[in-house]
Structure 1
Amino acid sequence: MALVAPLYSAEQIQVPAQLPDVLKAFTKEVIKRQPVDILRFSATYFADLSKAAKSAAEVEAPTKQQLRQVFWTINAPPDALVESRRLLETCRSVGINEGTLQKALTVGRFGEDGMMPAGELLIVLLAMSSTSHPETIASMFMVMGEEGRIATSAFLNLILALGVLDKSFSPKVHQQLSEGLKAFLFVEWDDVEQTHALDGILENFESAKSALKGDPARLTVYDGNSTIKTSMFQDNPRAWQDMLHTIKKDLDEDTGHTFKIIWPECSLRNIEAGLAARKGTTSPGTSSNARSNLQLPD
């Protein structure tokens, strides 16, 4: 007959690595606060702890004001190397949560130790808070510029950093920008626009349509609840998003309502048709009942 092992032998007990620290912190709080009902206190304490852990894991786009505050607190040019830990702590101090920072570190392939160019982390965070390439690039000057200007060399390095996030910012685009801006020591948004190097990225409405590979039936439909539903296309998802945001902006201005884009599934032809119908024009290839396809909110 086999012997039954003791229920609580050392071999059976596996203490989670974080348990001692959790219990230590909890015990300190109990001793400090001296609760009358320790069970009720315990329930509240661990519920709050759970909420904090969940919040830290969430990814929430930072505001441009937060990023501006980080940049001025660091007090270094966008392409200057700064200590990673200092930069991350500054981000946390202005309210950028841990989940967002971890996402940015992963996307930008940064480490939490050593040094990193301050502007490169900020450009990743800026892209997270922008709805389109034009907004990302124009916002560089607001977040990291002095009186709306950035040193040309620093700006070109930021464009290289954007190339890690999106292949639209190709070496060819970078070379065209370098040529177009070589006479400038500092640049502002107007200087960049005048190079026309970014035209193919900034004016992406038509290129986004071509990314649909001639299948307009798959595009966009409006569900009547102030929501534009759309598909994400793997070949050029960012251009597709930019196009939808352009349409959204037109709709907002035309109707006085604020529309929300959610992903996925829908048909762009219908939403374009509805927009054209409101403007009294006809969108190529659209049906006469376009207005009914775009059900605007009351």
Structure 2
Amino acid sequence: MPLPETMFCAQQIKIPPELPDILKQFTKAAIRTQPHDVLQWAAAYFSALSKGEPLPVKERIEMPLTTDKTDAVLTPGLLKILHKQLSPKGVVNVAELREKWKHLSLPEEPLKAILQLGNFSEEVEWIKILALGCTVLGGSLLSSMKHACEILTMDPEGGAARVPFETFSFLYLYLASIDGEIAEEETASFLSGIKEQADQQAGMVLLRNFLSQPSTLF
């Protein structure tokens, strides 16, 4: 067996030229994301990086929630990470969803509640998981739709948060059916008014337009 090479000086240590930038980007990502479990998140980060998959990184730092809980909680930024990672698939396996959820150190109880509420099997439509995730964030239908639009929009942060009417309508009808307390006639009338406004905006629903609707529909 050959003896290991003896190190005599620092010049013998070969550092890959791309390593400094990789570590710099990792550090910036960690600062933005503020992971609850750094080691678990770092493993997920480098695994995604090596596979060319979307990274589990927030777009910006979120203000910490005022809570006494020591566990991580679902936030718009974390839900947007999951959307970035899973939305390209359209339909996702529950096992993969659980894995991505765990990578963000999120407690299992909210995910269990989402899966039970949607009565999902082993394959789930991501858009429905996103919708129910927004109910965890918001509680009311109004705030849930607001979070959904802000996550789905291609507009910059603080912009109009536009989404296609078809997407808005699907989410609203789905959440209204889960809620079960809004009459179908009211839902149809509400969406008809939203569509009229969307038709004037190239088929896009603006966040401010539906926020001004009667609160009885939310």
Taking structure 2 as the reference length, the TM-score comes to 0.54
* 2:91 alignment partner, SS class: strand
Contact 1:61 1:128 in 2 (8 A): no
Over 3 Å counting, the alpha-carbon distance change for 1:143 and 1:67 in structure 2 is: same
Aligned to 2:92: 83
Q: Note the C-alpha offset of 1:61.
A: 5.0
Runs of at least 5 residues in structure 1 that lack an aligned partner in the other structure: 1-58, 203-298
Distance 1:168 1:102 in 2: 23
Over 3 Å counting, the alpha-carbon distance change for 1:176 and 1:93 in structure 2 is: farther
Q: Which string of whole-angstrom CA distances, capped at 9 and with x for unpartnered residues, describes residues 18-76 of structure 1? A: xxxxxxxxxxxxxxxxxxxxxxxxxxxxxxxxxxxxxxxxx975111110111112244
Aligned to 1:192: 210
Q: Which string of whole-angstrom CA distances, capped at 9 and with x for unpartnered residues, describes residues 218-267 of structure 1? A: xxxxxxxxxxxxxxxxxxxxxxxxxxxxxxxxxxxxxxxxxxxxxxxxxx
* 1:138 alignment partner, SS class: helix
Aligned to 1:72: 84
Distance 1:108 1:170 in 2: 20
**Taking CA–CA contacts closer than 8 Å with sequence separation of 6 or more, which of the two structures ends up with the larger relative contact order?**
2
Give 2:104's aligned amino acid: V
Aligned to 2:42: none
* 1:110 alignment partner, SS class: coil
Contact 2:91 2:125 in 1 (8 A): yes
Over 3 Å counting, the alpha-carbon distance change for 1:170 and 1:73 in structure 2 is: farther
Q: How many pairs align?
A: 137
Equivalent residues in 2 for 1:52-63, closer than 5 Å: 62-63=74-75
Distance 1:186 1:84 in 2: 30
Aligned to 1:38: none
Identity %: 15
Q: Note the C-alpha offset of 1:132.
A: 3.4
- Between structure 1 and structure 2, the one with the greater Rg is 1
Q: Which string of whole-angstrom CA distances, capped at 9 and with x for unpartnered residues, describes residues 245-291 of structure 1? A: xxxxxxxxxxxxxxxxxxxxxxxxxxxxxxxxxxxxxxxxxxxxxxx
Contact 1:152 1:186 in 2 (8 A): yes
Q: Note the C-alpha offset of 1:131.
A: 4.3
Equivalent residues in 2 for 1:11-160, closer than 5 Å: 62-76=74-88, 81-85=90-94, 86-111=96-121, 113-114=122-123, 116-147=124-155, 148-160=161-173
Taking structure 1 as the reference length, the TM-score comes to 0.41
Over 3 Å counting, the alpha-carbon distance change for 1:101 and 1:185 in structure 2 is: same
Runs of at least 5 residues in structure 2 that lack an aligned partner in the other structure: 1-70, 156-160
Aligned to 1:173: 186
Over 3 Å counting, the alpha-carbon distance change for 1:170 and 1:156 in structure 2 is: farther
Distance 2:126 2:191 in 1: 21
Alignment match of 2:175 (pick from 150, 153, 162): 162
Over 3 Å counting, the alpha-carbon distance change for 1:94 and 1:164 in structure 2 is: farther
Contact 1:81 1:117 in 2 (8 A): yes
Distance 2:183 2:73 in 1: 25
